[in-house]
């Protein structure tokens, strides 16, 4: 499988944050930031130059394009992957790193292309907010699981029934590998375009992007048990009002918002 690599140069940090959010909304799956250089990756078959040109024009950020083989991208990702440590709560590392000491939960992730290593602000925020929830004996839905990192953390925190779904074959394969490497036994991983409506959950985790969450917010509300807790991320600070309105429209109670750089994570509850 080949991927299209789009490279932007000479942006500010703020511009990169906006570009990542906009590119994620049109299907880009992986991002590398190195100083003022941003590389974004999408399957060649899904690449739409017209949508990219619209983003480039609106942000005044020119780009260059290259087509790369999947394994080359993976090698570059792995070479730059460093452990992520969230206080004394959790650490995310690759198998080739030394164990991280003095953390409650350690997760081993094979980086590859899937989203969710803790490096991006949204994954970091989701994990940080998970530290404040009680997962013991709970049922969990991880919508847009990526690497499976949030599902794995949920099990380590005591969840006993976890459904992790994603619509990308590569993410599913990667998540399965990571689930096995972390000896997780309570996670069911499924390829799915949408949330199955045949079960309800105590905790909903959704770290995707604004468009997908808005398209599924009614369904998210419908699969909540009474009193269910919901963590949503994958969107920018400027989207806070939009999320709050969507929660209210679906009779979900907004609890709080946390911010890292220009990204936010929102916690809500089912009444």
Alpha helices per DSSP H over the chain: 13-25, 49-59, 70-80, 121-130, 149-156, 169-181, 210-222, 240-249
Average pLDDT, the chain: 90
Q: What is the pLDDT of residue 79?
A: 65
Q: What is the pLDDT of residue 261?
A: 84
In this prediction, residue 159 has a pLDDT band, given cuts at 50, 70 and 90, of very high
In this prediction, residue 102 has a pLDDT band, given cuts at 50, 70 and 90, of very high
What gap in Å lies between CA 164 and CA 205, rounded to an integer?
9
Axis crossing angle, helix 13-25 with helix 49-59, rounded to the nearest 10: 150
Q: What is the mean pLDDT of residues 210-223?
A: 95
* Closest by CA position to 91, among listed 108, 110, 67: 108
What gap in Å lies between CA 18 and CA 23, rounded to an integer?
9
Domain 2-78 fold: Alpha-Beta Plaits (3.30.70)
Look at the pTM and tell me if it is higher than 0.85. no
> Does residue 1 carry a pLDDT above 80?
no
Q: What is the mean pLDDT of residues 246-263?
A: 95
Q: What is the pLDDT of residue 3?
A: 86
In this prediction, residue 76 has a pLDDT band, given cuts at 50, 70 and 90, of low
Q: To the nearest whole percent, how much of the chain has pLDDT over 70?
A: 92
Instruction: Output 187 or 120, whichever has higher pLDDT.
Output: 187
Q: What is the mean pLDDT of residues 225-247?
A: 95
With tokens 């942000």, the residue in question is 59
Domain 121-269 fold: Rossmann fold (3.40.50)
Q: What is the mean pLDDT of residues 53-58?
A: 94
In this prediction, residue 24 has a pLDDT band, given cuts at 50, 70 and 90, of confident
* Closest by CA position to 40, among listed 79, 68, 75, 81: 68
> Does residue 87 carry a pLDDT above 80?
yes
- Each domain of the chain, given as residue ranges in start order, spans 2-78, 121-269
């Amino acid at each position: 499988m080949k991927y299209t690599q789009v490279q932007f140069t000479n942006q500010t940090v703020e511009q990169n944050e906006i570009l990542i959010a906009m590119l994620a909304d049109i299907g880009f799956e992986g991002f590398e930031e190195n100083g003022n250089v941003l590389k974004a990756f999408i399957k060649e078959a899904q690449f739409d130059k017209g949508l990219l040109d619209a983003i480039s024009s609106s942000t005044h950020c020119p780009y260059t394009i290259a087509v790369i083989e999947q394994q080359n991208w993976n090698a570059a990702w792995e070479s730059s992957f460093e452990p992520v440590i969230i206080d004394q709560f959790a650490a995310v590392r690759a198998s080739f790193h030394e164990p991280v000491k003095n953390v409650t939960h350690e997760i081993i992730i094979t980086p590859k292309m899937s989203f969710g290593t803790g490096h991006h602000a949204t994954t970091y925020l989701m994990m940080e907010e998970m530290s404040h929830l009680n997962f013991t004996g709970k049922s969990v839905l991880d919508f847009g699981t990526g690497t499976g990192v949030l599902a794995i953390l949920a099990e380590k925190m005591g969840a006993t029934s976890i459904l992790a779904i994603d619509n990308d074959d590569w993410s599913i394969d990667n998540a399965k590998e990571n689930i096995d490497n972390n000896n997780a036994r309570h996670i069911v991983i499924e390829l799915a375009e949408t949330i199955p409506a045949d079960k309800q959950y105590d905790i909903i985790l959704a770290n995707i992007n604004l468009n997908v969450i808005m398209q599924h917010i009614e369904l998210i509300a419908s699969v909540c048990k009474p009193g269910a807790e919901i963590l949503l991320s994958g969107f920018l600070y400027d989207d806070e009002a939009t999320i709050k309105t969507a929660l209210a429209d679906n009779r979900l109670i907004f609890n709080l918002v946390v911010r890292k750089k220009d990204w936010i994570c929102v916690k809500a509850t089912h009444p």
